[in-house]
Structure 1
Amino acid sequence: MLESFADWLVFGLAGLPSEAHWGDAVHFFVYETMKIGLLLVLVTHLMGLINAYLPVQRVREWIASGRLRGSEHLVASGFGAVTPFCSCSSIPLFIGFLQGGIPLGVTLSFLITSPLVNEVALALFIGLFGWQVTLIYAASGILLGTVLGWALGKFRLGRFVEDWVWDIAEGRAEQAESTQKSLWERLPSVSREAMGIVTDIAPYVLAGLAIGAGIHGYVPTGFFEQYLSGGNPLAVPLSVVLAVPMYANASGILPVVQALVAKGVPLGTAIAFMMAVVGLSLPEAMMLKKAMQTRLLATFFGAVGVSIIGLGYLFNLVL
């Protein structure tokens, strides 16, 4: 419905030419802005409601108690795999988890896997590349989130999360301890808080989407084919670098991956390109910059980027 409305708004009402690069770029920007904006509003309100009734201290104690027997990162990564969110729409959940008392490393496991693996993308993957490649991809995405979340959690990086995230979490904890309000009574404050988060990160989202729209409209597929051929030993890291400025969800980028493979790009290189597009996008980085200090953001992107490059080389060997 949103895409049809964007078609009418850009190509119908505004009369922009659909065959022109700039018309395609404007359509991409309008559609993605509406989609991400709607998701941000819904998810921030949902997480606000959940956190309003979530006993923060009990959650912390439950995770620290060891009842998950060390599998908390795998559980978070698995939850990311079954949630149909792109990287940008996963970020409000990431912030909400931190505000709810979930450790940073466990939360990062969710954030890494969520855009990489979802049921829609896997269904398309099976149709395009078969169940064996799909199984390897899904397992790799979940394993990547599990291992990296665990490893990053060992470095005590919570001090590099912006103070406003922790301030909201502390305020919720104090409110929960001091009074018990009904849902109707809490709804106005939850809504104000949710819209405050949306307002804070909106400029970063719009700036990132504008850059992504320009690349989407003006960079042809052939540009990537030229540099990502099997004869280039640096094709895998180059594919990751070229993918970062782009933005798309896993379902949207899969047809591009199929086209690259059909043009002779090795499958592992194409998958690394896809992972970087959906998991290391510039809009995601600009949104995360609002919640993360530069050191944490660079560590997160660097670790995920290096891991995707390693997986790309591995896929080229085994697939």
Structure 2
Amino acid sequence: MAEIWYFIQNQILGMNWLNDLVAFLLTNMGVDASTRVGGSLQFFIYDVLKITLLLCLLIFIISYIQSYFPPERSKKILGRFHGLGANIAAALLGTVTPFCSCSSIPLFIGFTSAGLPIGVTFSFLISSPMVDLGSLVLLMSIFGTKVAVMYVILGLIIAIVGGALIERMHMEKYIEGFIMNAKHIDIEESTLSVKERIEYAQEQVSSTFKKVFPYILIGVGIGAIIHNWIPESWIETVLGSNNPFGVILATILGVPMYADIFGTIPVAEALLTKGALLGTVLAFMMAVTTLSLPSMIMLKKAMKPKLLVVFITICIVGIIIVGYIFNILHGFLII
């Protein structure tokens, strides 16, 4: 079993065969992968191809699953739960919804205007960009199963606790009136055929790929530079164990950026290989995907400043705590 899982981890998810193939082709083209330029080129080609292949496959699978959970049906499902169970259901629903924070906001507004409890909708809003099935598989391909599973579990905990806290604070009055007072119309749920679900998944692959691919190129490009050009000592000094504030710094740096999990993983991978601690790079990833500047601008239209500050604060504190937990377990998780 161990050998089978090792094969899955390294050859199917990690695509080591693809890395070897890229190295072979570059060598036959006269490019020396042991040099900085050659190593950067190999890193760039391999990671772009690997992430693109995984991206298209994952979006197709997740979109097919998502076709069974249109907004109206999702509202009905969430409406059946109460208390903490509703927060858990909302956080889990977030794992099969859009990959970036900006795409999650229209659903958040729709759920809120439909009358779902504010804490439930915030659990969804936190979970959707931070934790999804795609992030689980991608993290497994880079960091291994233990890291991926812990990342998802802790991300869900942030979403559940964050939503529950906002619910307990009774902050409904800080949602803009046009959302809270919106008239809700139930739309009869249509039943799609298998062919229609496949066509929907293919459309989602095409549209999402067009939006995400530029960020993949940017993320992999930054990762290639970090991997082959920035001295290891620099990364260790700023984000390594010698800096107890590395997690806080990484979180703050990640907040104003805009990317999704596919664009941030190559950067995190390069930082980790250069000596950054695991929790520090994962905190950076969480901050980028959950609290991007464009999404905060969009949310400002949907809620008043006090609630927006509470939401950002809860996310940042949760991300920092998770980062330090991963740093403590770095030696156990990274072998």
Q: What's the TM-score bracket when you normalise by the shorter of the two chains?
A: 0.5 to 0.7
Q: 1:298 aligns with which of 306, 309, 312?
A: 309
SS at match of 1:71: helix
Aligned counterpart in structure 2 of residue 266 of structure 1, from 277, 286, 303: 277
The answer (yes or no) to whether the contact 2:126–2:290 under 8 Å persists in 1 is yes
Query: Are 2:241 and 1:227 equivalent residues in the alignment?
Result: no
Match of 1:96 in 2: 110
Amino acid at match of 2:298: M
TM-aligned CA distance change 1:69 to 1:287, over 3 Å: closer
How many residues were matched structurally?
A: 228
Q: Which letter maps to 1:71? A: G
Deviation at 1:286, TM superposition (A): 0.7
**In 2, distance between residues paired with 1:290 and 1:301?**
15
Cα deviation per residue 1:259-286 (whole Å; 9 max; x = unaligned)?
0001110001000010001011111111
Distance 1:215 1:255, change over 3 A: closer
| Structure 1 unaligned regions, length at least 5 | 1-45, 184-213
Q: CA RMSD in A?
A: 3.2
1:59-208 equivalent positions in 2, closer than 5 A: 62-63=79-80, 68=82, 70-168=84-182, 171-172=183-184
For residue 215 of structure 1, report the CA deviation from its aligned partner.
11
Structure 1: how far apart are the matches of 2:188 and 2:326?
52
Letter of the aligned partner of 1:141 in structure 2? G
Match of 2:192 in 1: none
| Deviation of 1:306 (Å) | 0.8
Distance 1:216 1:163, change over 3 A: farther
Q: Show the counterpart of 2:328.
A: 317
**2-side partners of 1:144 and 1:239: how far apart?**
18
Give the aligned partner of residue 42 of structure 1: none
Residues 182/113 of structure 1: CA separation in 2 closer, same or farther (3 Å cut): closer
Name segments (4+ residues, structure 1) moved above 4 Å. Answer: 214-224
- In structure 1, the residue matched to 2:259 is 248
Aligned to 1:277: 288
CA contact (8 A) 1:115 1:278 kept: yes
Under a length normalisation based on structure 1, what TM-score does the superposition of the two structures give? 0.64
CA distance in 2: counterparts of 1:275 and 1:259, whole angstroms: 16
TM-aligned CA distance change 1:239 to 1:133, over 3 Å? same
Distance of 2:123 and 2:251 partners within structure 1 = 20
Q: Structure 1's 126 and 242: CA in aligned 2 closer, same or farther, altered over 3 A?
A: same
